Amino acid sequence: MASEQAHSDERADTYDEFESRVERISNIGNAAGILRWDQEVVMPEAGTPARAQQLSTLSSLSHELLTADETSDLLEALESDDLSDEQAAVVREIRRQYDRETSVPGELVENISETTTNAHPKWMEAKENNDFETFAPVLEELVELKREYANHIDPDADPYAVLFADYEPYIDLETAEKVLERLRDELVPLIDEIQASDTDLTTDAFAGTFDDDDQEALARDVLDSLGYDWDRGRLDTAPHPFSSGTQFDARVTTRFEEDDLLGSITSTIHEFGHANYTIGLPDEGYGTPLGEARDLSVHESQSRLWENHVGRSRPFWEHFLPIARERFAELEDVSPEAAYESANQVYDDNLIRVEADELTYHLHIVIRFEIERDLISGDLAVEDVPEVWNDKYEEYLGVRPETDAEGCLQDIHWSHGSFGYFPTYSLGSVLAAQLYAAAEEDLGEFDDQIREGEFDELNGWLRENIHQHGKQFTTPDLIERATGEGFTADYFLEYVESKYGELYDL
Amino acid sequence: MASEQAHSDERADTYDEFESRVERISNIGNAAGILRWDQEVVMPEAGTPARAQQLSTLSSLSHELLTADETSDLLEALESDDLSDEQAAVVREIRRQYDRETSVPGELVENISETTTNAHPKWMEAKENNDFETFAPVLEELVELKREYANHIDPDADPYAVLFADYEPYIDLETAEKVLERLRDELVPLIDEIQASDTDLTTDAFAGTFDDDDQEALARDVLDSLGYDWDRGRLDTAPHPFSSGTQFDARVTTRFEEDDLLGSITSTIHEFGHANYTIGLPDEGYGTPLGEARDLSVHESQSRLWENHVGRSRPFWEHFLPIARERFAELEDVSPEAAYESANQVYDDNLIRVEADELTYHLHIVIRFEIERDLISGDLAVEDVPEVWNDKYEEYLGVRPETDAEGCLQDIHWSHGSFGYFPTYSLGSVLAAQLYAAAEEDLGEFDDQIREGEFDELNGWLRENIHQHGKQFTTPDLIERATGEGFTADYFLEYVESKYGELYDL
């Protein structure tokens, strides 16, 4: 007994030491998060050189702590020991990070970092001058470096699958690919039908120009209405809206354009979904993966659930339009139905992903996915990207870009070397539908509550089934526990077929 | 020659390694500075627990890097080598920090940190209930801990001198003490004379209530007018105004009270002085002491120079009153002379340091200095502080506090364990006068320029003689180089005697 006790004490000590190390790494990351928020939102223009050095120092400190021999020793000691489920989850997550970060040589990491720093202005220049040639050489370089990077992590795996796992570690690429193929195969004909339909949807409910300050007041109304916890957050403006932070301090940013009131509302709801997930993470898990959000697909499921299933629903506009009218008298004659229709218009000539609707959006993603997968595998040469891009737009969306600026140069992501990131946007939407259906299965339809501006039950379900678990479960386990089944596109397709079938009289 | 070259290369490598380490420490400190700014200015209320952990992690990382054996080895290697003057200055500054931080046991540092955390609410409670007894035990504890702390750093030195050196490392306590004694001996009779004078100064030029938003606009006018570099800074509000940052990003905060327009103007000018010093530090020194401000007295000399020698001068109000009138029509009938007099009123019944004027201020400091010096030496018992405090107020300022809340409990500093900090406020004022006199000696009187709102020459002199040197010189050297003589109270006393002699017809 005495020796068992001693062993158990020793194990507790080892875990404590491990946890302290993990907490340090987490605190460094969260400090860097504040520095990045500051840089985007409040930092004076000239602050960049110092900020870059501060962030670089924090990033190396974190890397050194994670990849130190002590981390390895602690992981090994703990992996051969009896741990609680929570402890085992923390060990699993840190092991994964440790293995990835130690397998890539520092020189390659630096090389990638320098190349992306160099790629960004090239991309800007190429987009501005509509000249793909300016960007092509550095894109080529990044493709090669990222292939090399993937090869260090797992020489036996499909390199694109390795890159994808940087953003979505627990949904395998095959599953993701099947979902994306199904979206393509079912959405292309649905969109065709919609474009052929002669239903006359209201599209101009939010036409007009709207004062920035009033838009900001309305964005605060939106957040109030959805139940944003202002004690743990704040709203600011940023050129590219984002949300960031921890469960104690999860901030939202948005932007206002005078001719796009609807865009600022939906973007604010979207960022609310992200921040609300972060706020729902358990306080007591702060500092370890137990208090951190699951990865990009789950995060995006939260933003999309609020943006689309709530914010683009008929009962939401019945609830929210009277509030919006208080800020903007010009909405007096707009009906909730007109607002609902305008928020769900499917475009037939949009080339730009970030301006897409709930349906065509996914074809924008599928196109990027197919192209970057083939780029990484070597099946597609960089020089052929513009033509393949344009052909796919014509095939899937019935519209052909006239310039590369509004074609393959529109997004910033590849200049960051972020191959494998795009799919998580669609996976998030698909998961949002699955979670929303499961919540309604458990609690009944939310329409009446949404019409009354009552979001507590829905949010309570998300808190209980998703938020409070942090990273304790892998993504497939989390989905299985929340919905009773594996990850599936069924609910998303049912949702869009029913919603858009009704809207467009299909 | 070959071996000399090899030795020189090796020395360069050693210095580079040392510099990288120093830069890391500096970047961690600057990141923590942003986190603290964020906490005071924008952080949501509930963010405290996470922020405390983030700051604590950064603080230990910095401590570990500084006190590591590698630092010691590098310092020793470099100290026995030929270095440039700049390199030698960096080594001197880091050596000093290293010696201090390694001499105090971690346990004691933690004990002090915990005790101050505990002391703060006790001080708040004691002040609120006007009950010194609530604060006395923890003050006693802090006095003992700080004595112990000083003893670790230098067992042979006067412990108060050691504590003072935490804030002002290069002006020895004897010099400081002589200056403070001289202030006491010369200001007490001067203030007596002023109080006995029957001159009828205008004191109500800024009476009235003033809208917050307009006050903020005027604070921006003040900063514009003085030449604040907005590309490297910003203005926000905070409950206790401060400025912080680096040469790339030096921010100002201020506060607005509707019945204290003058206070918001002078406080903004004060913080401008601090931020303007920071902005003037050399960009290329960022990351080492060469790009950091000299210590508290020099920093305070910059804020006081702008606040008092510029902002409380007659020509300043001739320049600025018309600008203020644009924001506040109620100032239409106020003359520059009335504004000047109101900004320089000497109080005869003020008990509160932060509300004091340019003269009585220093007696508030002298009283705290004498008390804390005797507390640390053991010549004064904690329980006797209230009575000694009140006696000294009566003796030096002719006014006796009726409660401890407006007596010895008014300031937060002792609850932080900050003994030795207060004197730097007065030393800063004294140095401000010496620097201003030297600048006028070099360039002629600034009155005409100030009247025209022209501050470039004055600021240029400060940039050249103070700001650009960072921590390259010790404080006495810096003063000697800038003014041609040692630190002296002569100029401050001349300045106040001339200014207040004229104002009060003495």
pLDDT of residue A3: 65
Tell whether A63 is in a known binding site: no
- Residue A438's pLDDT band, with cuts at 50, 70 and 90, is very high
User: A205-262: per-residue pLDDT in tens?
Assistant: 999 999 999 999 999 999 999 999 999 999 999 988 999 999 999 999 999 999 999 9
- Residue B364's pLDDT band, with cuts at 50, 70 and 90, is very high
Compute the average pLDDT of residues A495-499.
98
pLDDT of residue A316: 98
Distances (CA, A) of A152 to A158, A369, B354: 12, 22, 62
Q: Do B248 and A47 touch (CB under 8 A)?
A: yes
| Mutation target among A21, A26, A40, A53 for the B interface, most CBs of B within 10 A | A53
Residues 352-391 of B with CB under 8 A from A: none
The vertex-B409 CA angle with B361 and B298, nearest 5°, equals 40
Q: Do A57 and B24 touch (CB under 8 A)?
A: yes
Report the candidate in B502, B224, B197 with the shortest Cα–Cα distance to residue B340.
B502
User: Is residue A225 within 8 Å of residue A268, measured between CB atoms?
Assistant: no
Compute the average pLDDT of residues A357-362.
97
Q: For the packed helices B85-103 and B132-153, what is the interaxial angle rounded to 10 degrees? A: 120
Cβ contacts (< 8 Å) between A228 and chain B: which residues?
none
CA distance B317 to chain A (A): 30
Minimal Cβ distance to A31: which of B31, B233, B248: B31
User: A302-353: per-residue pLDDT in tens?
Assistant: 999 999 999 999 999 999 999 999 999 999 999 999 999 999 999 989 999 9
Which residue matches tokens 């919006």?
A: A324
Cβ contacts (< 8 Å) between A43 and chain B: which residues?
249
Cβ neighbours, 10 Å, residue B402:
11
User: A275-285: per-residue pLDDT in tens?
Assistant: 999 999 999 99
Residues 274-333 of A with CB under 8 A from B: 283, 286-287
Residues 26-45 of A with CB under 8 A from B: 27-28, 30-32, 34-35, 38, 42-45
Cβ contacts (< 8 Å) between A59 and chain B: which residues?
none
Active site residues of A: 271
Q: Do B58 and A248 touch (CB under 8 A)?
A: no
Average pLDDT across chain A, whole number: 96
Q: Is residue B311 scored above 90 in pLDDT?
A: yes
Residue A20 contacts B where some CB pair is shorter than 8 Å: no
Residues 242-261 of B with CB under 8 A from A: 246-249, 251
Distance between CA atoms of residues B90 and B99, nearest Å:
14
Report the candidate in B489, B501, B379, B469 with the shortest Cα–Cα distance to residue B423.
B489
Cβ contacts (< 8 Å) between A30 and chain B: which residues?
50, 54
Write phi, then psi, for A237 (nearest 5 degrees): -105, 150
pLDDT of residue B8: 75
User: Is residue B433 within 8 Å of residue B491, measured between CB atoms?
Assistant: yes
Strand partners, B245: B250
User: Is residue B389 within 8 Å of residue B375, measured between CB atoms?
Assistant: no
- Residue A7's pLDDT band, with cuts at 50, 70 and 90, is confident
Minimal Cβ distance to A248: which of B35, B50, B233: B50
User: Is residue A348 within 8 Å of residue A363, measured between CB atoms?
Assistant: no
Q: For the packed helices B132-153 and B106-129, what is the interaxial angle rounded to 10 degrees? A: 160
Q: Do A249 and B43 touch (CB under 8 A)?
A: yes
User: Is residue A276 within 8 Å of residue A459, measured between CB atoms?
Assistant: yes
Distance between CA atoms of residues B84 and B98, nearest Å:
21
Question: Percent of chain A having pLDDT more than 90?
Answer: 96
Contacts of A280 (CB under 8 A, 6+ apart): A247, A459, A462, A463, A466, A467, A468
Contacts of A381 (CB under 8 A, 6+ apart): none
First to last CA, chain B: 72
Cβ contacts (< 8 Å) between B287 and chain A: which residues?
53
Compute the average pLDDT of residues B462-489.
98
Strand partners, B237: B254
User: B330-348: per-residue pLDDT in tens?
Assistant: 999 999 999 999 999 999 8
Contacts of B464 (CB under 8 A, 6+ apart): none
Residue A50 contacts B where some CB pair is shorter than 8 Å: yes
Q: Is residue A146 scored above 60 in pLDDT?
A: yes
Cβ contacts (< 8 Å) between A24 and chain B: which residues?
57, 60-61
ipTM for the assembly: 0.94
Instruction: Tell me chain A's radius of gyration from C-alpha atoms.
Output: 24
Instruction: Tell me chain B's radius of gyration from C-alpha atoms.
Output: 24
- Residue A81's pLDDT band, with cuts at 50, 70 and 90, is confident
Q: Do A248 and B46 touch (CB under 8 A)?
A: yes
**Catalytic site residue from B93, B168, B216, B271:** B271
User: Is residue A453 within 8 Å of residue A221, measured between CB atoms?
Assistant: no
Tell whether B274 is in a known binding site: yes
Compute the average pLDDT of residues B386-391.
98
Distance between CA atoms of residues B355 and B349, nearest Å:
11
Q: Under DSSP, is residue A237 helix (H, G, I), strand (E, B) or coil?
A: strand
Q: Where are the domains of chain A?
A: 2-103
Cβ contacts (< 8 Å) between A48 and chain B: which residues?
248
Q: For the packed helices A173-196 and A360-377, what is the interaxial angle rounded to 10 degrees? A: 140
Which residue matches tokens 């996976």?
A: A427
Minimal Cβ distance to A248: which of B34, B47, B230: B47
First to last CA, chain A: 73
User: B108-163: per-residue pLDDT in tens?
Assistant: 999 999 999 899 999 999 999 999 999 999 999 999 999 999 999 999 999 999 99
Contacts of A100 (CB under 8 A, 6+ apart): A153, A166
Cβ neighbours, 10 Å, residue B322:
12
Write phi, then psi, for B461 (nearest 5 degrees): -65, -45
CA distance A231 to chain B (A): 5
Q: Is residue A5 scored above 80 in pLDDT?
A: no
User: Is residue B289 within 8 Å of residue B417, measured between CB atoms?
Assistant: no
CA distance A53 to chain B (A): 7
Report the candidate in A243, A333, A306 with the shortest Cα–Cα distance to residue A458.
A306
Q: Is residue A1 scored above 60 in pLDDT?
A: no
pLDDT of residue B402: 96
Distance between CA atoms of residues A384 and B386, nearest Å:
83
Compute the average pLDDT of residues A18-40.
97
Which residue matches tokens 């707009």?
A: A334
**DSSP states of B434-461:** HHHHHHHHHH---HHHHHTT--HHHHHH
CA distance B229 to chain A (A): 10
pLDDT of residue A2: 56
Q: Is residue A28 scored above 90 in pLDDT?
A: yes
Distance between CA atoms of residues A26 and A20, nearest Å:
10
Distance between CA atoms of residues A220 and B92, nearest Å:
53
Cβ contacts (< 8 Å) between B49 and chain A: which residues?
248, 283, 286
Question: Percent of chain B having pLDDT more than 70?
Answer: 99
Give just the sign of the alpha carbon dihedral A270, A271, A272, A273. Answer: positive
Q: Is residue A366 scored above 60 in pLDDT?
A: yes
Minimal Cβ distance to A234: which of B23, B42, B287: B42
| Mutation target among B43, B249, B279 for the A interface, most CBs of A within 10 A | B249
pLDDT of residue B377: 97
Q: Do A34 and B35 touch (CB under 8 A)?
A: yes
Q: Do A44 and B247 touch (CB under 8 A)?
A: no
Compute the average pLDDT of residues A418-439.
98
Distance between CA atoms of residues A418 and A112, nearest Å:
11
Minimal Cβ distance to A34: which of B27, B38, B230: B38
pLDDT of residue B113: 92
Tell whether B193 is in a known binding site: no
pLDDT of residue B56: 94
Residue B47 contacts A where some CB pair is shorter than 8 Å: yes
Q: Do B286 and A231 touch (CB under 8 A)?
A: no
Minimal Cβ distance to A50: which of B24, B60, B249: B249
Residue A239 contacts B where some CB pair is shorter than 8 Å: no
CA distance A68 to chain B (A): 15
pLDDT of residue A439: 98
Report the candidate in B27, B466, B36 with the shortest Cα–Cα distance to residue B242.
B36
Residues 177-236 of A with CB under 8 A from B: 229-234
Q: Residue B60: closest CA among chain A residues belongs to which residue?
A: A24
User: B21-62: per-residue pLDDT in tens?
Assistant: 999 999 999 999 999 999 999 999 999 999 999 999 999 999
CA distance B50 to chain A (A): 6
Minimal Cβ distance to B50: which of A32, A45, A246: A246
Question: How many beta-carbon pairs under 8 angstroms link A with B?
Answer: 115
Distance between CA atoms of residues A41 and A236, nearest Å:
7
Q: Is residue B2 scored above 60 in pLDDT?
A: no
